[in-house]
Amino acid sequence: MTLTAGLASRLREILPADRVIDDPTTLIPYAYDASFWSLRSRRMPDVVVLPETTAEVSGVVRAAATSGTPVVARGGGTGQTGGAVPARGGIVISFARMRRVLEIDRTNLQCLTEPGIVYVDLNAALAPHGLFFPPDPGSGRACSVGGMVANNASGPHAVRWGTTSAYVLGAEVVLADGSVIVTGGQRSKALKSSSGIDLTKLFVGSEGTLGIITRLRLRVQPRPAARAVILAAYDDLAGTVATMDDLFAAGILPATAELLDQSAVKALMAWKPDLALPDGEAVLFIEIEGGKGEIAASAREAEKIVQRRARLTRLAEDEAAIQRLWAARAGLAAASALVFPGKHRVFAGEDLAVPISEIPRTVRRAREIAAETGITVIFYGHFGDGNVHSGILIDPSDPDEVNRADDLADRLHRLAIEVGGTVTGEHGTGAVRSRYMRAEHGDALDVMRRVKAALDPQGIMNPGKLYGDEV
Ligand SMILES: Cc1cc2nc3c(=O)[nH]c(=O)nc-3n(C[C@H](O)[C@H](O)[C@H](O)COP(=O)(O)OP(=O)(O)OC[C@H]3O[C@@H](n4cnc5c(N)ncnc54)[C@H](O)[C@@H]3O)c2cc1C
């Protein structure tokens, strides 16, 4: 019996046979996520399991610990950093069958859910209660809530509502020896706590390297009744920073402030000319939220402030017009592939986050680096929290172009650190950004490694990610 066949048969003692996959063809999709890294060299799992209960997850991890086999959790597989890819083989635990919402408690503003649920499905379950789970990644139709917690994901609305981390009240976690703990209090439904070390936060953003999440208690919020979007065009990127500062000075925190650099406006206009986006160095979509009775006045007050710096503004107040704008923004990646035939969008160096005040300098320097490497890039992002996305467009079959894209991505990561930012605002470290951890975190990386060694002494939980290793 081969090593893999032996492992699979041990796992079939824990789960029904049809939820243990080891035939090589069916394993192939689990060798990839959305990262360019995973597309370039396949890293196959030995076995994939699809548990339905915490006990099954615990049994699988216990078996892995006994044999020293790597274990990698997988949600929707939409990650852009190779996080769910088994860099060193082993067992992939797919959460595709752990998608139940176990409780929705409006009075106490929380829900209890399994981690495999897709983001939009959780919000669909919350909607009839007038509630929502605010972090809104662009991949919300495909990514799992467990993956969001593991990566501390977010999206446009993080400006006002914060990132996933702010909403995790507690988690059930299977540790590297297969034991199960509950963080945030065994039975607590309190919305805040000063009790003990905040272990919940330790697992948020740890990308499955410290433990595997099998249940989540999430804070949820009443959905705002109304919204409006101000579209603002700027001749100079500096004006966008001044607008944010003006709004803050007036006591206004927008729900979103999305940036479209001139390159992104051009791509969108080639795709959807009816959007009639104005020219300029940049365009912002600024969303204001509020009650039905006040939204018109709030939006107009904010628009007046925006007009101080913007060359032109447009106000979208009806829901259909707002949804058209957001749908166009969401389609940006698709648009770029249409505008540059033969090029593909690859996810590398795509998630810098810098101080708001440094966005103009960062975008301009990034444009220069793109020109120096001869690579086509569109820039956009969540301006209101400094998250700059770079959409790199290349022909992946051209080795020279791939090399230049690697150089570009590397220089963008270093640029983020240089201007006082981070190499990843929301997509995580995974395999691809591990090499920047020392430069960004200094000696704090050693403390992360000590935490890892304490919780996972054998190094079986998602090895090759996050702690400065090169894979
Ligand atoms: C087109 C596109 C747009 C995107 N837009 C955004 C965006 O706007 N904002 C954003 O933040 N991200 C975005 N992403 C990136 C990605 O969708 C997020 O990082 C998301 O949180 C990943 O969720 P997932 O379920 O797909 O996780 P996966 O890719 O399956 O896994 C991601 C990481 O989470 C770990 N993990 C998964 N489940 C568990 C679990 N139960 N316990 C422990 N660890 C676990 C995995 O091991 C891995 O390290 C985008 C991706 C794409 C392809």
- Residue 253 sits in the same domain as residue 314: yes
Phi, psi of 440 (to 5 degrees): -80, -40
Atom 13 of ligand 1, residue of closest alpha carbon? 137
CA 328 / ligand 1 centre spacing (Å)? 22
Number of structural domains the chain divides into: 4
- Residue 352 sits in the same domain as residue 403: yes
Q: Is residue 112 part of a domain?
A: yes
Q: Is residue 460 part of a domain?
A: no
> Which band of pLDDT confidence, cut at 50, 70 and 90, is reported for residue 335?
confident
Check pocket membership of 205 for ligand 1, CB cut-off 6 A.
Answer: no
- Residue 133 sits in the same domain as residue 179: yes
Residue 84's nearest CA partner among 319, 377, 387, 429 is 429
- 51-80 residue pLDDT tens: 999 999 999 999 999 999 999 999 999 999
- Tell me the CB-side half-sphere exposure of residue 369, using CA atoms within 13 A: 24
**Boundary-marking domain end, from 94, 120, 151:** 94
Q: Is residue 462 part of a domain?
A: no
Which ligand 1 atom is at minimum distance from the Cα of 144? 25
- 99-110 residue pLDDT tens: 999 999 999 999
Give residue 347's pLDDT: 92
**Boundary-marking domain end, from 171, 203, 222:** 222
Parent domain of 139: 101-222
Q: Is residue 90 part of a domain?
A: yes
* Overall pTM surpassing 0.75 (yes/no): yes
Distance CA(100)–CA(91), nearest Å, equals: 23
Pair of tokens at residue 146: 């467990």
CATH number at residue 16: 3.30.43.10
Q: Is residue 351 part of a domain?
A: yes
> Which band of pLDDT confidence, cut at 50, 70 and 90, is reported for residue 404?
very high
Q: Is residue 451 part of a domain?
A: no
Identify the burial level of 444 via C-beta atoms within 10 angstroms of its C-beta, where 0-12 means exposed, 13-18 middle and 19 or more buried.
Answer: exposed
Q: What percent of the chain is modeled with pLDDT above 70?
A: 99
> Which band of pLDDT confidence, cut at 50, 70 and 90, is reported for residue 327?
confident
Pocket test residue of 71, 81, 139 for ligand 1, highest count of atoms within 8 A of CB:
139
DSSP for residue 260: E
CA 237 / ligand 1 centre spacing (Å)? 31
- Segment 136-150 shows an average pLDDT of 96
> Which band of pLDDT confidence, cut at 50, 70 and 90, is reported for residue 326?
confident
Give residue 422's pLDDT: 98
Atom 20 of ligand 1, residue of closest alpha carbon? 148
Helices (H), 49-118: 54-67
> Does pLDDT of 324 surpass 90?
no
CATH number at residue 129: 3.30.465.10
Q: What percent of the chain is modeled with pLDDT above 90?
A: 88
Give residue 435's pLDDT: 96
Give residue 63's pLDDT: 96
Distance CA(211)–CA(160), nearest Å, equals: 30
**Boundary-marking domain end, from 196, 222, 248:** 222
Mean pLDDT over each residue of the chain, to the nearest integer: 95
Task: Beginning with the edge strand found earlier in the chain, give each strand of the sheet holding 110-113 in spatial order.
Answer: 101-105, 110-113, 212-219, 168-174, 180-182
Q: How far is CA 464 from CA 86, 91, 429, 442, in A?
A: 9, 14, 11, 19
- Segment 224-229 shows an average pLDDT of 95
- Residue 87 sits in the same domain as residue 109: no
- Residue 127 sits in the same domain as residue 185: yes
> Which band of pLDDT confidence, cut at 50, 70 and 90, is reported for residue 276?
confident
> Which band of pLDDT confidence, cut at 50, 70 and 90, is reported for residue 2?
low
Phi, psi of 429 (to 5 degrees): -90, -55
> Which band of pLDDT confidence, cut at 50, 70 and 90, is reported for residue 328?
confident
- Segment 369-376 shows an average pLDDT of 96
- Residue 216 sits in the same domain as residue 251: no
Check pocket membership of 427 for ligand 1, CB cut-off 6 A.
Answer: yes
CA 77 / ligand 1 centre spacing (Å)? 6
Give residue 274's pLDDT: 84
- Residue 44 sits in the same domain as residue 69: yes
Q: Is residue 171 part of a domain?
A: yes
- Residue 214 sits in the same domain as residue 236: no
Give residue 471's pLDDT: 67
Check pocket membership of 84 for ligand 1, CB cut-off 6 A.
Answer: yes
CA 81 / ligand 1 centre spacing (Å)? 9
Q: Is residue 330 part of a domain?
A: no
> Which band of pLDDT confidence, cut at 50, 70 and 90, is reported for residue 340?
confident
CATH number at residue 295: 3.30.70.2190
CATH number at residue 359: 3.30.70.2740
Give residue 337's pLDDT: 75
- Residue 144 sits in the same domain as residue 124: yes
What letter represents residue 404's amino acid? Answer: R
- 411-427 residue pLDDT tens: 999 999 999 999 999 99
- Residue 239 sits in the same domain as residue 308: yes
Which ligand 1 atom is at minimum distance from the Cα of 203? 43
CA 207 / ligand 1 centre spacing (Å)? 9
CA 365 / ligand 1 centre spacing (Å)? 28
- Residue 125 sits in the same domain as residue 213: yes
Distance CA(308)–CA(28), nearest Å, equals: 54
- Residue 304 sits in the same domain as residue 367: no
CA 275 / ligand 1 centre spacing (Å)? 30
Distance CA(405)–CA(93), nearest Å, equals: 32
Q: Which are the contacts of 379, defined by CB distance < 8 A and separation ≥ 6?
A: 259, 261, 263, 264, 363, 366, 367, 388, 389, 390, 391
Give residue 341's pLDDT: 83
